[in-house]
Each structure stands twice: as C-alpha cells, then as structure tokens.
Amino acid sequence: MAAPGSGQAGMMAEMMLDHTHDPAAHCWVPGADAHPDFPVQNLPLGVYSIGGGSPRIGVAIGDMVLDAQGLPDLPGDVQDALRQPTLNRLFALPPAERTRLRHALFAYLTGEPAKHAPLHAVADCTLHLPFTVGDYTDFYVGIHHATNIGALFRPDNPLLPNYRHVPIGYHGRASSVRVSGTPVVRPNGQTKAPDAAAPGFGPCRRLDYELELGVWIAGDNELGQPVPIAQAWDRIGGLCVLNDWSARDIQAWEYQPLGPFLAKNFCTSVSPWVVTAEALAPFRTAPRLRSATDPKLLPYLANEADAAFGALSLQTEVALQSAAMRAANLPPVVLSRGDSADAMYWTLAQLVTHHASNGCDLRAGDLLGTGTLSGPARESFGSLMELSEGGKRPVPLPGGEERTFLEDGDTLTITVRAEREGARTIGLGTCTGTIAPAR
Ligand SMILES: O=C(O)/C=C/C(=O)CC(=O)CC(=O)O
Ligand SMILES: [Ca+2]
Ligand SMILES: [Mg+2]
C-alpha cells in the first residue's frame, strides 16, 4: 500500500505499516467494514460495563464491543493485563506485547467467523475512563492558538520569546479527568473585571472549551532517566480526543505568575477509546509548521525520524447544540474544522522527550494534552475565545441565538478522524459534554 510522504520519509514510514493496516482487510463482524471510525484496521481499546456489572476491557469493532478476555494465542502477561478493570497494566507492558495483542485481535476478527464471540452492542454498554489517570500535563503546541490567545491576554506580547525553543506546558489535575458524556458543572471562581475595583466570587461567565488531542502514556522510565527522542513513540500508548474546559474570566485573573490553576482543573473530558500508536502509523507525516528560519532545535529534541514523520494529520470537527436547538430539533452546528498537522508546532515525541528530559518519570496511564489545536484561519480555531475574539464577535447559532462563551445546556462535541488517500479511514471517536448550572 502507499505510504505517506515520499523518498526516505516515505520508506521510513512504510516500515511502520504491516498487514493490519491493509485497507482491503475484511472483518466478519456485521457492519465493521463500513464503519466510519472502528473498522478492523483501528482496534481501539477501552473499558466498558453492562447493566451495572464490573468494568472490563473491550475493543471497539464497528458498533460492537468485543470483550478482550479469553482471546486465543496470547502470552500469560497479556491475558492477565486484559483481566484488569483498567488499561494501566496492559500499557505498562513492553510495546512488542501490545503489537502482539493487535495482531491477535486482527487475526481473530479477520479469520474464520467465531460462533460464540463475546460481542456486545456498544449501545448496551457504559463506557468508562480507560485508565486510572496518574498525572495529567497540558501542553501548548498550537502555535496559532498561542498567538491568538496571547494577543487577547497580552496584546503587546502575544507569542512569548521562548515559544519556538521549548515546548511549553503546565501540570494539570488528574482527579477531575472524566469520560466523554459526563456533565460539566459550571465552575465558581474568583474573577475581576478590568475596570472593577475589587475581585468577586461567583459562577464563571466566560466558560470555554479547548479542542485537544490526549496522549495516554505507556511504559515507565525510572526517576532520573530521560526518554531519548528515538524511543519516545514507544511511550505513546495511544490517543484520545480531549476537551480542556476553561474558565476564561478566572484564568485571566489568576494565571500570573504561575499559569492556569482553578480555571482549568474543574473538569477535563476525554473520549473513551484509546486509538493506539500502531493504528495511527499511516497518518504520520512531516511536521509542517517549523520553518527553516526558526531557531535550530536543541539536539535532545530532534532526530531524523521526527523531522520526517513526527507529526500526525488528523481531521478535527467541533460542533455545538444549545438547549433551545435541541428543543427545536435543530442538529448541532459545526463551529470549526481543522487538521492537527496545521495546528501543532511541536510533535508528540518532542513532548514526551521534553517532559522526561529533566528525569521526571512518566508512568503508564499518565495523560498529556497537546494544547488547543487551532489552524491558521478562523474556520479552524479550537476555542470560543478565539472564534468570538475574546467575546467581541458573537458566533451566530441556528434558531437565532448567538454565543460568545458557553451557556448552561450547551452540548459541545469534538470528533476526530484520521483520513488519507491509500489508507482505511479510522476515528478517535467523540468527546462530548453538556454544561450544567453552577452549584
Ligand atoms: O497565558 C496563555 O497564553 C494561555 C494559556 C492557556 O490557556 C493554557 C492552556 O490550556 C494551553 C492550551 O490549551 O493551548
Ligand atoms: Ca489546554
Ligand atoms: Mg483541564
């Protein structure tokens, strides 16, 4: 099959592909071959339960969930990890074991149709947070977002001078990470309007979303032991869709000098399925946003493979449906569409390597957010703060409403797909949440 890129980059990328990426592969589960997100080339892992039963590991295939226990041809440590109620133990195993699982799943689902396969309609399942989240770190890789939001927070100093030298990030909060679908309670907080004499406390009035990708970390590095960039992809277990809900009024008042705190830790939503690094291999591409005139990367952040295909090209879409739209049977309206490769200045490998470069230990089940993914044009901005130009330009909604920031009852849904010529399209799925009133 055709590989992305050309020349050496194309050859290197092709080495990451195998028969499990064959776009012509046929799966016997009804509907799987035609499914937009979860054909047999994807095989994302997650945690589900049925009718109040205990959580179990499953694999999304079409509109079904395949229970992961009791699959044939797997070594004991993988079988054992698949009997756990979260993916932490599975993703602590060496990367070759996860590849082995992918190959076993692919063989099972493309071979002789199984008579009594443990398949459940996803509609009958409750999907859970796939990991016990150890730590959550949020980066700032969207250079257009950083420029746009920087201009709103710091008109004379939008993109700070360190931006092209060092991946910027902050430590977020793991306890408030929730699976897609969990209601998002409007936070209360301390805010101060620029012209007010003193701050006040109350419900956030500038509630926003942030379109991001989440990286689930695999494996462990000992404290003190960095992760060389050549090994960074071994530590990328898989990806999800992430919404870093943000209280812009709280953020503007609290963020100096230590960065975001309560403006961003009241809830972070993630999509339920972990789309593995192997499944995403066909969508690797050369980074597009680092130009020849940019500062030369420090050696620990650069290698040939990352320059050739360190980026990921994924298609993103953000849609909103208000309570009034829902009542009037109006479908969600698309607020923006974009491509992650047009938004990300830093690669995922650079984030992993930079995070561990001081000896910080990353552990299986840690979550990294990329930062808000905004493309160069308004049609591809990844937050309402940018779309409404800081609240100055309301976004019209069908039915006559408009939005500068999110209102109670709004449902915000982010969808991500991986699509390119010559490869089978796969999806990361959706990350959704509805705003509930402040308490
Ligand atoms: O002060 C700023 O420029 C803004 C910081 C953030 O909003 C932090 C954040 O969540 C980064 C991101 O999602 O890109
Ligand atoms: Ca963020
Ligand atoms: Mg957050």
Spans in the chain with pLDDT lower than 50 = 1-5
Question: How confident is the model over 87-115, as pLDDT tens digits?
Answer: 999 999 999 999 999 999 999 999 999 99
Mutate to test the pocket of ligand 1, among 372, 373, 381 (most ligand atoms within 8 A of CB): 372
Ligand 1 in reach of 139 Cβ (< 6 A): no
Report the atom number in ligand 1 closest to the C-alpha of 210: 13
Residue nearest to atom 1 of ligand 1 (CA): 150
Ligand 1 in reach of 137 Cβ (< 6 A): no
In this predicted complex, what is the ipTM? 0.91
The catalytic residues are 145
In this structure, how many other beta carbons lie within 10 angstroms of the beta carbon of residue 179? 19
Same domain, 358 and 379: yes
Element (H, E) at 9: helix 7-14
- Are 101 and 93 in contact, with CB atoms under 8 Å apart? no
Same domain, 90 and 164: no
CA–CA distance, 356 with 79 (Å, rounded to integer):
30
The DSSP code for 142 is B
The CATH number of the domain where 82 resides is what? 2.30.30.230
Span between the terminal Cα atoms of the chain, in Å? 55
Same domain, 34 and 174: no
Ordered DSSP codes for 335-394 = EEEEEGGGTBSS-HHHHHHHHHTTSPPP-TT-EEE------SSGGG-SSHHHHTTTTTSP
C-alpha 332 – ligand 1 centre gap (Å)? 26
Same domain, 120 and 184: no
Same domain, 224 and 187: yes
CA–CA distance, 412 with 113 (Å, rounded to integer):
39
Give residue 91's Cα distance to chain centre.
17
Question: How confident is the model over 119-144, as pLDDT tens digits?
Answer: 999 999 999 999 999 999 999 999 99
Ordered DSSP codes for 54-118 = --EEEEEETTEEEE-TT-SS--HHHHHHHTSSSSHHHHHS-HHHHHHHHHHHHHHHHSSPPTT--
Tell me whether residue 427 is in a domain.
yes
Mutate to test the pocket of ligand 1, among 136, 137, 138 (most ligand atoms within 8 A of CB): 138
Backbone angles phi, psi at 336, to 5 degrees: -165, 160
Domain encompassing residue 267: 136-436
Question: How confident is the model over 362-420, as pLDDT tens digits?
Answer: 999 999 999 999 999 999 999 999 999 999 999 999 999 999 999 999 999 999 999 99
